[in-house]
A = this chain, B = another copy of it.
Amino acid sequence: MREWLDGYEERTWQTTESGTVRYALIGLGWWTIDVALPAIESSDLGEVSVLVSSSTEKAARLADENDVARGIGYDEFHDGAASDEYDAVYVGTPNAYHLEYVESAAELDKAVLCEKPMEATVDRAETMVERCEAADVPLMIAYRMQTDPAVQRARELIADGFVGDPVSVYGHNSQPLLEMIPDPDQWRLDPDLSGYGTSVMDLGIYSINTARYLLRREPVSVQSEMASTHEAFADVADERASSLFVFEDDVQMISTASQNAHEDTHLKITGTEGQIELRPAFHGECSLHCSRGDVSVTVEHDSFDAEREMEEEFDYFADRVLGDEEIYPDGRHGLQDMRIIEALHESAERGEPVALE
């Protein structure tokens, strides 16, 4: 098992060894510039050719600073400027702006890699899926955990019965948002931009999506409690949220998320025979802990960080765009997370469990 775990960073999904996807990056916050851009530059199958921002000036300046050929404004993008200079877009704007850029990209026949959560609401996420399907452009949602080698190993172990029958999942994702970004007016605290809320949309989604991916099962009902006490969180329901999910086959999951708490990320799957744990789970340096009977193995994953994780994600996306294999975390996959998050908010508001189709 030790040996198998050490064959860790193999790309079991890879089908394409050559070719290049040229990206336009849309929404130039710190994540896009400091993590996504260098990740693409280090990737095998991608390069950044265009930056898109609010104004041509800002985009041109950032392009210059980051050694990218071209910078254009949002309006220019929508008008099709430089559209022969990129093959795909990466959308990293606040949630409620995703749709408009994806719509333009679909009209321009560009492949789309859109950050999670897909959009601010289920309705807008549905529209996104429909637009991309009508235009027949690939749409992937940027669930970087799914191409993290630790998560992929965990998924194979679970499918091979390492934990026996899965019994329960624990997911946790918390961070002190106001220490990280000391601005009470940031978009993550504005429901017009973030959507249903902030802690589940931005953090809880990692536990939910990674559990769906690891278990190969979908939740059938959810319940949740949410509360906001800090004044910066006055406009959102979920400064903190606790949720309870029933998945197919009576697998149970519990999770907590908070944008106003000590940082911790943790995912644990307990089965009848064993346990698999990711901790830290969601910040790139993901460690895998496996126990069964009296045996325990830990695989540290120090060489990985968020940038390296994004590199895997971009190469997976490029592999799918250049080849003809299906995208796993596609628009309909992301849409399901939106429905789950909407149901969690509905449950917290109504004070009762909500069934999912």
Contacts and interface: CB of A to CB of B under 8 A. Distances in A.
Interface of A: 163-165, 167-168, 170, 172, 174, 176, 223-225, 227, 229, 240-244, 246, 250, 252-256, 258, 260-262, 264, 268, 270-275, 291-292, 351-353
Contact of A223 (B244, B264, B268): B244
A352 B225 CA distance: 12
Contacts of A255: 254
Tallying the copies of this chain within the complex gives 2
The 4 tightest CB contacts between A and B, nearest first, are A254-B254, A242-B252, A227-B250, A168-B256
Contacts of A256: 167-168, 170, 252, 254, 270
A165 B260 CA distance: 10
A227 B243 contact: no
A89 to B, nearest CB: 37
Given A168-B240, A223-B223, A223-B244, A261 B254 contact: no
B240 A243 contact: no
A261 B253 contact: no
Contact of A351 (B243, B271, B353): B353
A290 to B, nearest CB: 11
A6 to B, nearest CB: 24
A262 B244 contact: no
Nearest to A250: B227
A264 B275 contact: yes
Contacts of A352: 351-353
Contacts of A254: 170, 242-244, 254-256
B275 A270 contact: no
